[in-house]
Structure 1
Amino acid sequence: MANLTINTTQNIKIEFNPASLGERMLSSILDMIFKVLYVILVFYLLEEFNVFKQGLDRWSEAAITITFLLPAFFYSLFFETILQGATPGKKIMRIKVIKIDGYEATIIDYATRWVMRLVDFWIGSAVIGLIAVISSDKGQRLGDILAGTAVISVKERVFLSATIFQEVDEQYVPLFSQVLSLTDKDVYIIKEALTRIKASRDVQLLYKLVDKLKNVLGIVDIKSSSELEFVETILKDYNYLTAKS
């Protein structure tokens, strides 16, 4: 599958490697296994603690069962929201969901994808979702198209080039999660520009770089005492978050 080129609202092109169909299918299988194991555990614990032997009526038993099974029902929505576009299965396969405009996906976007699973996967035994992914130039199923998202591979981030690597303390707290929409190539260019700025003390170039980063990442408040610190924070955030991905 060809690289996924995303145009931001500022008409900036960002390249991603789209997740392959095989990677997406394997991640779905892994997630299904996790959900089945959870359901087995739930029924085991309910049986172990004799929950259904307490003289409860059918409605009470049904309410208890449904309550304990809700996490499995909302599995993908829950994990994609808290893991920034990933589920345990996606984490293992090193793929994730992003917005195709380069910004951070919201819970509304994840909820849209989750609701559309009914059409993509359950109606027609996943045939609709499969056809949509294959026919889409961005590898999107119907849920992705409606949410404005795509599934990308982040495997290349395991092998960060020494030219962009920056040691970050384990206790570091990143400020801008939007940096995950950048690529290693983008970060390399940013770091090269910062090196040139420090060497030449070119303030105008620094201002241009900061404006470009703010526009591309959708950042309003740079949360730093200076433009130089802002750019360094972007580099630190990228290294920290990609190392944790």
Structure 2
Amino acid sequence: MGLFNRINLQTPESVELEFTLAGIGNRTLALLIDNVIWGLILLSFLAIGAVVSTQLQEIWLNFFEDDESLLLWIISIQILIFFSIYMGYFVFFETLWQGQTPGKRAVKIRVIRDNGRSARLPQATLRSLLRPIDDLFFLGVFFIIFGKQEKRLGDWIAGTLVVQEEKPVVSTDFALSQEAKTLAEQLLVQADLSQLLPEDFAVIREYLRRRSMMLTEARTEKSKQLAQQVKKLINLEKVPKGITANHFLEAVYLAYQRDRATD
């Protein structure tokens, strides 16, 4: 039995991927970091809000005698902003950083969907809205510890998992063409490899590993499909002439590894 739970997911490309679940320890540490940052943001807001409220009350009293209506407006606006910061922090970062917050990035874990893809705005919103319920009486901790997939309630509703962000393995057990090695050097300059997530890399790797066992027609169709998706993902305008879909995927595989090795 391993120290960490692993889970196999089937991607839309019919490729099976294996991930290591984040675990309660990593998730707790990430949440602690996020709460510190969130608290600093909230304190800054409260400090600025206090100064602005005082100034507004002074200006208001110069024109009106009763400041009760202004006070109600200030309290309402502060509650709205407080709620936006509380809910919006996780939604903003998990959407912008493709399943990561500052805390998750520091601990190297990520939120993904049940199909292996990165979390988007709908998933991040559902997870954030259900966070208060998960925090109530430590329900989230209970679900994570005793669930095989280590999901809190927000994960079950949003259809997400929290997994460790694993670095790609440099060694390969399949042949790579010379054309791919040459193209890989070009991709490091011309392509935006930062848009390629670990789960995207894993799909490419699994295809390259299993392509020799596929029928020729199926291999051709699958390689073209993956190549088109990856080309769009890394914002590459065009592929050099004479480069097949298989050569292109091999090149992306190599370029991604070399790009991560320099991080």
> What's the TM-score bracket when you normalise by the shorter of the two chains?
0.7 to 0.9
Q: Is residue 171 of structure 2 the alignment partner of residue 163 of structure 1? A: yes
Across the two proteins, how many residue pairs are aligned to each other?
226
RMSD of equivalent CA atoms: 3.8
Could you tell me whether the CA contact under 8 Å between 2:114 and 2:160 is conserved in 1?
A: yes
Q: TM-score normalised to the size of structure 2? A: 0.68
Query: Which of 65, 74, 84 matches 1:61?
Result: 74
Q: Deviations over 1:137-187 (max 9, x none)?
A: 111111111211100011x31xx443369666367324964x532566x65
Distance of 1:82 and 1:97 partners within structure 2: 12
* C-alpha contact (below 8 Å) 2:155/2:161 kept by paired residues: yes
Where structure 2 has 5 or more consecutive residues not aligned to the other structure, the ranges are 61-69, 173-180, 233-237
Equivalent residue for 1:89? 103
Corresponding residue to 1:118 among 126, 129, 132 = 132
Return the index of the structure with the highest Cα Rg: 2
User: 1:17 aligned to 2:20?
Assistant: yes
Whether 1:26 aligns to 2:45 is no
TM-score for both structures, normalised by structure 1: 0.73
Q: Could you tell me how far apart the structure 2 residues matched to 1:95 and 1:141 are? A: 15
Q: CA deviation at 1:188?
A: 5.2
Q: Contact 1:133–1:139 at 8 Å: present in 2 too?
A: yes
Q: Equivalent residue of 1:96, what SS? A: strand
Q: CA deviation digits over 1:14-48, x for unaligned, max 9?
A: 1011102011011111111111111111223344x
Aligned residues of 2:204 and 2:253 also touching (Cα < 8 A): yes
Residue 80 of structure 1 corresponds to: 94
Which amino acid counterpart does residue 21 of structure 1 have in structure 2?
A: I
**52, 55, 77: which one aligns with 2:54:** 52
Tell me if the contact between 1:210 and 1:227 (Cα under 8 Å) persists in the aligned partners: no
In structure 2, the partner of 1:145 is 156
Distance across 2 between alignment mates of 1:31 and 1:102:
24
Deviation at 1:230, TM superposition (A): 4.2
Letter in structure 2 aligned against 1:181: E
Distance in structure 2 (CA, Å) of the matches to 1:75 and 1:163? 38
CA 54–116 in structure 1, closer or farther in 2 if over 3 Å, else same: closer
Secondary structure of 1:114's partner?
A: helix
Q: What secondary structure sits across from 2:188 in the alignment?
A: coil
**Change over 3 Å in CA distance of 1:169–1:52 after alignment to 2:** farther
Q: What residue ranges of structure 1 are gaps of 5+ in the alignment?
A: 197-202
Residues 125-144 of structure 1 correspond to what in structure 2 (within 5 A)? Answer: 126=138, 128-144=139-155
- The 2-side partners of 1:209 and 1:118 are apart by 48
- Provide Cα deviations, 1:68-114, integer angstroms capped at 9, x if missing partner: 53234311111101010011111111101001212333211111111
Contact 1:175 / 1:237 at 8 angstroms: preserved in 2? no
